[in-house]
Structure 1
Amino acid sequence: MTRLNRLTPETAVGASRDLLADLVSRHGRVGDMVSTMAHSPAVLGGYLQLGRAMRRARLDRRISERISIAVQTHQGCALCLDAHIDAARSLGLDEEEIERARAGTSADPAIAAIIALALQVHREPSSITDERIVEPREHGYSDREIADVVGVVSLNVLTGAFNLLAGLSPATTDGV
C-alpha cells in the first residue's frame, strides 16, 4: 500500500501542477514516483534537474547502471533496483555481471574499483581517503568521472529513499 497519493496536473497545485502538466504534455504520462513526488515541488524539481544534469555525466552508462544496482541493493528500494536491472539488461549487461553489481563488484577490476568507491560514498563518505581515490585513477578514471560517482549515488539515494518513504514498490506501481 502506498503512503502518499499520486497527483495529476488536475490535483496538484502551484509549481507541482506546472511541472506535472509540462511532463504530461511532453511525455503523455508520468510514472508513479514522479506523480507522487509532486507533493513537494522542491523534491520534484530537484529530481528533474539532477536527472537532466546526470545525463551529461562522463561516466559510461553501463557503469552508472552497475553503481545504481549496487546502491539500490544496499538501500533496499525494489522499485529502483528492478528499473536499473532492466536498464542494465537493455545496455547488454549479462546476468552474471548484474549479480556482481548487486554484490557491489564487477569482473572488470576497473569497474569494481568505481563501484567500491560509489558504495563508500553511499555508506560512509567521511571515511574516503586519498588512497581510495588513487585506485580509480590508476584504472584510468578522470576526476570528472570520479566526481560523477557522487551524482549517480545522490540520484539513487533521492529516488530510492523517496520510493521507500512513499511506499512505492513493484507491487504498488506501474513503474518509476
Structure 2
Amino acid sequence: MSRLAPLTPETAVGVSRDLLTDLTTRHGRIGEMVSTMAHSPALLTGYLQLSRAMKRAKLSRKAGERVSIAVQAQQGCGLCMDAHVAAARAHGIPEDEIQRAKAGTSADPATAAIIDLGLRVYRNPTAVTDEHIAALRDHGYSNREIADVVGIVALNLLTGAFNLVAGLTPEDDPEQ
C-alpha cells in the first residue's frame, strides 16, 4: 500500500501542478510514481530531466534494459522491475536473457561486461578499475556508452528508491 498519496493537477500546487498539467495534457494519464513524486517539485523536475536525457543515451536500449533489470534485482523495486522486464520483452530480449540479467549476467560476454559495470556502479563504484574499463573498450564500448551506464544506474537508483520509500508496488499502478 502506498505511503504517499498520488497528486493530480487539481491537488498539486505550484511547479508540481504545472508539471502534472503538462504531462497529463501531453500523455493523457501519468503513472503512480510520477504523480506521487509531485510532492517534491525538485525531485519530479530532476527525474523528468534525467529521464529525458537518458533517452538520448548511446548505449543500446537492449543493453540498458538489462543493466536496469540487474540493478532492480538488487534494489528490490517490483514496480521498476516489472517496467524494465516489459521494456526488455518489447525490445525482443529473450526470456532466458531476462533471467540472466536478473542474475547479473548474460550469455553474451560483452553484455555480461556492461551489466557487471552497472552492478559495480550500483554497489561500489570504487570497485571499477582501469582493467574493467579497458575490458569494456575491448568489447567495443565507447566512452560515451560507459558513461551512459552511470546515468542508467542513477535513474534506477532514483526511481527504485523513491518507489520503495513511497510504498509503491505494481498493484498501485494500473499501467503496469
Please indicate the TM-score interval, normalised by the length of the shorter structure: over 0.9
Once residues 33 and 172 of structure 1 are traced to their aligned partners in structure 2, the CA distance between those partners, rounded to angstroms, is 9
Which amino acid is 2:87 matched to? Answer: A
Indicate the residue corresponding to 1:168 in structure 2.
168
Deviations 1:22-59 (A, max 9, x none): 00010111100000000001110000000100011000
Indicate the residue corresponding to 1:55 in structure 2.
55
Residue pair 1:79, 1:175 contacting (<8 A) in 2 also: no
Once residues 6 and 174 of structure 2 are traced to their aligned partners in structure 1, the CA distance between those partners, rounded to angstroms, is 12
Matches within 5 A, 1:23-42: 23-42=23-42
Q: Which runs of 5+ in 2 are unaligned?
A: none
- 4+ aligned runs moved over 3 Å, structure 1: none
Indicate the residue corresponding to 2:149 in structure 1.
149
Among all aligned residue pairs of Structure 1 and Structure 2, give the percentage whose two residues are the same amino acid: 67
Per the TM alignment, residue 108 of structure 1 is displaced from its structure 2 partner at its CA by 0.5
Which amino acid is 1:30 matched to? Answer: I
Once residues 117 and 50 of structure 2 are traced to their aligned partners in structure 1, the CA distance between those partners, rounded to angstroms, is 20
Per the TM alignment, residue 171 of structure 1 is displaced from its structure 2 partner at its CA by 2.1
For 1:16, what is the secondary structure of its paired residue?
Answer: helix
Once residues 106 and 113 of structure 1 are traced to their aligned partners in structure 2, the CA distance between those partners, rounded to angstroms, is 8
Count, aligned residues: 176
Q: Does 1:8 align with 2:25?
A: no
For 2:171, what is the secondary structure of its paired residue?
Answer: coil
Per the TM alignment, residue 127 of structure 1 is displaced from its structure 2 partner at its CA by 2.2
Which amino acid is 1:27 matched to? Answer: H
Q: Which runs of 5+ in 1 are unaligned?
A: none
Indicate the residue corresponding to 1:88 in structure 2.
88
Which amino acid is 2:115 matched to? Answer: I
Indicate the residue corresponding to 1:128 in structure 2.
128
- Scaled by the length of structure 1, the TM-score of the pair is 0.98
